[in-house]
Amino acid sequence: MSRFVRAAQTTQSLSLAAMEEASRAGLRVADLEHLFLALVISDQPAGGALRSMGIDLDGARRAVEEERAAQLASLGIEASFPEAGRIVFHETDGYEWSKRASDLIARSISRDDKGDAAAVLRELVTEPSGLIASILDRLGATPRAVLDRLAPFDVPVEGTATTSGETEGRVTGSIETFVAAPIEEVWRFLVDPRAIPDWEMSIGTIDHGDQDPIPGMVWRGLAPVRRPDGKPLTVKPRFRRRSIELVAAHRPERIAWSFAYPDAPQGSPILTEFTLAATVGGTQVQITRSWSRRQGWRMLVVYPLRSVQKFIVWITLFQTGSAVSRAFR
């Protein structure tokens, strides 16, 4: 993976997580503390280094809140903040970085040849305001300790999303994401058909019963009629219905779902697989999506569009991974 692509993906993933954290407090501007929270749940080595020090999301959130209150108290301001709510970033708009946060990210990319989250973390813990140093102090850590712990984790980051048309005639893409929850909880969420609309954007509702899901069972889903922000969606008739089959459910490490359009039989079913592994502070989830590659003249038409196809695959996988992570935050 090129430095440019890695930097772009790192910026995208950190921006989404940071702005989601800002949205919990009703804020529209993500600042340094939100960037720190995003790094705590990053699937890259930077997140692993922080979590290996015992810094988890709940603790980091508390430290951020305590530091904010302490700063106001130092100014003689006594105020109580409303309790943070759920993430509403995906239901709202108008979010942006603070200038000092965007400048910090830009510096990390320009000074480091990897363009990964570790570069951002190194820049963040040494930023001159002392905000992150104070937050780390509340967590029983120091900037020096973070940098020392990061060193063994600071290995080259391979691509988090890959596509290939050479795997048994199938187009395949994969991505990894960190989920701040035990592996058993994540498995139960991903194997539950009722939770599918929470992570699969093409499903708005699904018919389900109370029976336990068993591989081979099929459900019917309908496309969403509105976006998460309430704006209406227009869906072509042949794409309104989805056939959803549980292909595999091996507890607690693998779940696979197949999605097809019964009214568009010429389309290829899409297989979405989740591979789970317990890790420090939560669960590492690999998400793989694949479908049959077109043959004949259709392949000649699609071939020049492979770069676009790779980007679309990465975006859809990124959205799925972000939705799974968000469900436990």
For residue 53, give both structure tokens. 């020090």
The H-or-E segment that residue 196 falls in is helix 196-199
Instruction: Clarify whether residues 102 and 249 are in a common domain.
Output: no
For residue 298, give both structure tokens. 């259709």
Provide CB contacts within 8 A for 277, sequence distance 6+: 183, 253, 283, 284, 285, 286
Instruction: Clarify whether residues 140 and 243 are in a common domain.
Output: no
Contact 249, 189 (CB under 8 A): no
Instruction: Clarify whether residues 185 and 111 are in a common domain.
Output: no
Instruction: Clarify whether residues 67 and 173 are in a common domain.
Output: no
Instruction: Clarify whether residues 144 and 173 are in a common domain.
Output: no
Specify burial of residue 134 (Cβ count, 10 A radius: 0-12, 13-18, 19+).
middle
Instruction: Clarify whether residues 323 and 234 are in a common domain.
Output: yes
Provide CB contacts within 8 A for 50, sequence distance 6+: 39, 40, 121, 146, 149
Contact 60, 37 (CB under 8 A): yes
CA distance 148 to 49: 9
Task: Look at residue 155 in the predicted model and tell me its pLDDT.
Answer: 63
The H-or-E segment that residue 254 falls in is strand 254-260
Specify burial of residue 165 (Cβ count, 10 A radius: 0-12, 13-18, 19+).
middle
CATH number of domain containing 201: 3.30.530.20
Task: Look at residue 161 in the predicted model and tell me its pLDDT.
Answer: 44
Task: Look at residue 142 in the predicted model and tell me its pLDDT.
Answer: 97
Chain segment 207-234, per-residue pLDDT in tens:
977 788 999 999 999 999 998 888 899 9
Tell me, what amino acid is at 277?
A: A
Low-confidence ranges of the chain (pLDDT < 70): 1-2, 79-82, 113, 154-169, 293-309
Instruction: Clarify whether residues 225 and 114 are in a common domain.
Output: no
Instruction: Clarify whether residues 74 and 211 are in a common domain.
Output: no
Task: Look at residue 301 in the predicted model and tell me its pLDDT.
Answer: 43
Task: Look at residue 253 in the predicted model and tell me its pLDDT.
Answer: 96
CATH number of domain containing 7: 1.10.1780.10
Task: Look at residue 309 in the predicted model and tell me its pLDDT.
Answer: 66
Domain boundary among 153, 173, 190: 153
Instruction: Clarify whether residues 316 and 170 are in a common domain.
Output: yes
Nearest in space to 20 (alpha carbons), one of 7, 30, 32:
30
Task: Look at residue 140 in the predicted model and tell me its pLDDT.
Answer: 97
Beta bridge partner(s), residue 260: 243
Instruction: Clarify whether residues 12 and 128 are in a common domain.
Output: yes
Contact 32, 104 (CB under 8 A): yes
Q: How many structural domains does the chain have?
A: 2
Helix, strand, coil content of the chain in percent (nearest 5)? 45, 20, 35
Instruction: Clarify whether residues 311 and 291 are in a common domain.
Output: yes
Q: Could you write out the DSSP letters of every residue in 124-156?
A: HHT-TT-HHHHHHHHTT--HHHHHHHHHHH--P
Task: For residue 20, count other CB atoms closer than 10 A to its CB.
Answer: 24
Domain boundary among 153, 174, 209: 153
Task: Look at residue 297 in the predicted model and tell me its pLDDT.
Answer: 42
Domain boundary among 115, 136, 153: 153
Instruction: Clarify whether residues 255 and 313 are in a common domain.
Output: yes
Provide CB contacts within 8 A for 128, sequence distance 6+: none
CA distance 207 to 228: 20
For residue 188, give both structure tokens. 């139960």
Domain with 259, as residue range(s), is 162-327
